[in-house]
Amino acid sequence: MANCDNCPSKSSCSKPKDGCMIENNPLNKINKVIGVMSGKGGVGKSTVSVLIAKGLRKKGYKVGILDADITGPSIPRLLDIKDAEVESTENFLYPVETEDGIKVMSFNLLMEDENQPVIWRGPIISATVKQFWTDVLWDELDYLIIDMPPGTGDVALTVMDSIPINGLVMVSIPQDMVSMIVAKAVNMARKMNISIIGVIQNMSYVLCPNCNEKIKIYDTENINKFLEDMNLKLLGEIPMVKEISNISNNSYGESDKIIDKIFNPILENITKAIE
């Protein structure tokens, strides 16, 4: 199945053709792949993946999300499709589509009971992630967003090794930002020759609902120096707001306008950088 012609990285790839281990499904035509990564869990990586996908979809792009967080898959819940079922043929899996047209593949959509844990060893989990790239019929997509497994372990390595990611968005919270956890994730991506689009600082502040004052909870003094030292771009800051924590219940109403106001400038930075 190896096929450079429909590889999202074909215009920027410098690897020799016979040295590339990436298998691309010739039936898929995916233009750009954006990975969303964090140094550790719980900082809002899946939420940011969904914000990117929804934002791009609203701009009219064809968008998919590949949930590579096999043991802690939260994309179906965040997109309110947790009861949907994946259709399959002998060779292929078909992504589930949300009401607004985002295609999704997640291990949770393949499980009968989402409360059951995935008690698998690393190599099997890695093989499943690979299959989500090679055996899912994504068809034509402008953007595929990969919700990466948290951290810098085995599965993150497989994703970087077997999916042609055009750029990575790093998500962190201010408390962890100036730390070796973020540095480790950044250095791992660079060692794997994957370009980093920039960093999103999530849960950066709380917005006072009465006076709109930005209340900073964490000390953020050294962040600019850290970004400069690591040669990283800050794509933007996301406050802690209930509209984002309730994203799965949001249809395109008032809450959506609040989210758009916060996230649209960040999305613009991402699309500009990846193009």
Ligand X SMILES: Nc1ncnc2c1ncn2[C@@H]1O[C@H](COP(=O)(O)OP(=O)(O)OP(=O)(O)O)[C@@H](O)[C@H]1O
* Residue 197: Cβ-neighbour burial (10 angstroms; 0-12, 13-18, 19+): buried
Q: Which residues contact 166 (CB under 8 A, 6 or more apart)?
A: 8, 9, 12, 32, 33, 34, 195, 274
41 binds ligand X (CB under 6 A): yes
79 binds ligand X (CB under 6 A): no
Number of residues that bind ligand X (CB under 6 A): 19
Out of 69, 103, 138, 199, point to the residue binding ligand X (CB under 6 A): 69
Q: Is the dihedral of CA 249, 76, 142, 51 positive or negative?
A: positive
Query: In the complex with ligand X, which residue's Cβ is closer, 127 or 217?
Result: 217
11 is in an annotated binding site: no
Q: Is 119 helix (H, G, I), strand (E, B) or coil?
A: coil
Q: Which helix (H) or strand (E) holds 187?
A: helix 180-191
216 is in an annotated binding site: no
Query: In the complex with ligand X, which residue's Cβ is closer, 171 or 227?
Result: 171
Site string for ligand X, 198-217 (x = CB under 6 A): ----xx--------------
Q: What are phi and psi of 30, to 5 degrees?
A: -110, 125
Q: How many CB atoms lie within 10 A of CB 87?
A: 11
Segment 117-156, which members bind ligand X (CB under 6 A)?
150
Q: Which helix (H) or strand (E) holds 270?
A: helix 254-274
Q: How many Cα atoms within 13 Å fall on the side-chain side of residue 203? A: 16
Query: In the complex with ligand X, which residue's Cβ is closer, 12 or 245?
Result: 245
Out of 47, 106, 162, 172, point to the residue binding ligand X (CB under 6 A): 47
Site string for ligand X, 219-238 (x = CB under 6 A): -------------------x
In the complex, least distance from residue 206 CB atom to ligand X, rounded to whole angstroms: 9
User: Which residues of this chain interact with ligand X, rule CB under 6 A?
Assistant: 38, 41-47, 69, 72, 74, 150, 202-203, 238, 240-241, 244-245
